[in-house]
Chains A and B, each alone.
Chain A
Amino acid sequence: MRILYVNNHGGGFADFINIEEGTTIDKLFKEKMPHEESQDYLIRVNRQPVPKDYVLKDNDRVTITPTKIEGARPVHA
């Protein structure tokens, strides 16, 4: 089945992806962000917070946004 996957980590990603039936949001996170902790991210499905064991449905909209993003001072050449 197909979901809209938006990941604001790094350079950002936003597109439809195919996932297996019965995939939970926790499983999807672990697959897409294997070295990250979910508590460091704001995870929404269809713009709402959901429990970890929420089973994703066709055309669901998943957004993952890091809660800690480091700003910087611009370096001029």
Chain B
Amino acid sequence: MEREHAVAFTLNGERVACRPAARTHLGDLLRAEFGLTGVHLGCEHGVCGACTILVDGRATRSCLMLAVQANGTVVETIEGLTERGAVADLQDAFHVRNALQCGYCTPGMLVTAAELLAEEAAPGREAIRAAIGGNYCRCTGYHAIVDAIAAVAEGRAAREGGGA
């Protein structure tokens, strides 16, 4: 049985190929092989949420997925989401509301928030708190993060309402 495997996948819109060791988790691969240092490893046991990325459009703990399992998938990190503007309103709201301090949780928090808002247009504060309940933030006390996500939900609703 092989301990390294050729994998090819779409990473932030680009086709990439590499040959990771089977034991390497996806977070390590993205950081070491592709320099995507926005993937933050806070615990490597799936609890802190800092390494959360999108795999085939779903929020995924990159530390709990083997790099070899990325074969054939579409992977997006905060770098790619930023580049295509997918989380621009969230980033703006987090900035204005100071919904981050050290910034270590922030990429994972943004990915989690983006998935929430894609699935639920108008989550209440409690739903927002539940959705980010698996993303540690040790700095903010969460209140500002909830405010920022709620503001984005309202902003998106207003824009869509205005266009109707």
Q: Do A and B bind each other?
A: no
